[in-house]
Amino acid sequence: MTAHAPAAAAGTVTLGGDLPVRRMGYGAMRITGEGIWGDPPDRDAAIALLQRAVELGIDLIDTADSYGPFVSEDLIRDALHTGGSDPYDGVVIATKGGLIRTGPGEWHALGRPEYLRFACEMSLRRLAVDTIDLYQLHRIDPEVPAEEQFGVLAELQSEGKIRHVGLSEVSVAQLTAAQDHLPIASVQNRYNLLDRGSEDVLEACTDQGIAFLPWFPVAVGDLARPGGPLDEVSTRTGASPAQLALAWLLARSPVMAPIPGTSSTAHLEENTSAAEVRLDEDVLTALDGLAR
């Protein structure tokens, strides 16, 4: 009997023209300690959560060397690495470099080319792979010429250490500038029902077939309060507020690939099941109007 894999219902988006992934992923930031710092309270539970994500049909797991730091990548290796010729058995592990940590909740951009090369090499080692399928520049460092940051990523790609390159928190102009140096397979910007500040970036990605990975995709807040607008739609559809937020994202663009993160298996299962939620035009119109 085949296990139920709800993530498959989201359909796929193709990274860089040759790497299809399901459009419902998992963001592995919350499996670390408080403040995204240190080990999780229960390491075995974090490993079980990652394994459950794959059982649910998720084949895109997003992480970063700064999550922990290093803890998230280590957990992913321990939970999912097979030791075989296909180390993650078809699951794409997307990681990021370019932010350093000085304590819980503290993040600082560092885009010097020698550091980005070092960060990539160490992620290769921690994940125990020869090539990272999707390596993302976590932030463009304003203190370092952007072309130097893009240039070292192009070098790492030409050396076979990176298969595809992504960007995080960029404008359309920055995306265009990066494309002068190398192909961009994905963009990871904050985007959700209430925060649509990256609408122009999403449009550019949709036009060009670039995967758009919205971070903080479930941000319903007061909208889900009893009697609130999401509570009302939830009652009508039978979907939870979180599922409505994710299903709206999936309907927004064919390149949209949400990566909701959680440390709870129950929330993971709820989020992933959003791929099976189908919203009619009336519901989509109501959700579209929430930000306005």
> Please, what are the domains in the chain?
7-291 (3.20.20.100)
| Mean pLDDT to the nearest integer, 30-46 | 97
Q: What CA–CA distance (Å, rounded) separates 87 from 77?
A: 9
Structure confidence at residue 223 (pLDDT): 74
For residues 133 and 19, the answer to whether their CB atoms sit within 8 Å is yes
User: Is residue 210's pLDDT more than 90?
Assistant: yes
How many of the other CB atoms lie within 10 Å of CB of 141?
20
| Mean pLDDT to the nearest integer, 125-140 | 98
User: Is residue 16's pLDDT more than 70?
Assistant: yes
User: Is residue 220's pLDDT more than 80?
Assistant: no
| Mean pLDDT to the nearest integer, 223-252 | 89
221 or 45: which leads in pLDDT: 45
Q: What CA–CA distance (Å, rounded) separates 20 from 37?
A: 32
Distance of CA 93 to the CA centre of its chain: 10
What is the dihedral sign for C-alpha 168, 172, 177, 181?
positive
Tokens of 68: 């922990």
Structure confidence at residue 227 (pLDDT): 79
Percentage of the chain beyond pLDDT 70 is: 99
**pTM above the 0.85 mark?**
yes
Structure confidence at residue 231 (pLDDT): 84
The average confidence (pLDDT) of the chain is 95
Q: What is the CA radius of gyration of the chain?
A: 18
Distance of CA 129 to the CA centre of its chain: 19
Catalytic residue numbers, as ranges: 67
pLDDT band at 1 (very low <50, low <70, confident <90, very high): very low
272-285: pLDDT as tens digits: 999 999 999 999 99
286 or 74: which leads in pLDDT: 74
114-126: pLDDT as tens digits: 999 999 999 999 9
The answer for residues whose C-beta is within 8 angstroms of residue 217's C-beta and 6 or more apart is 191, 192, 245, 246, 249, 258, 259, 260
Whole-Å CA distances, 227 to 66, 202, 224:
39, 31, 8
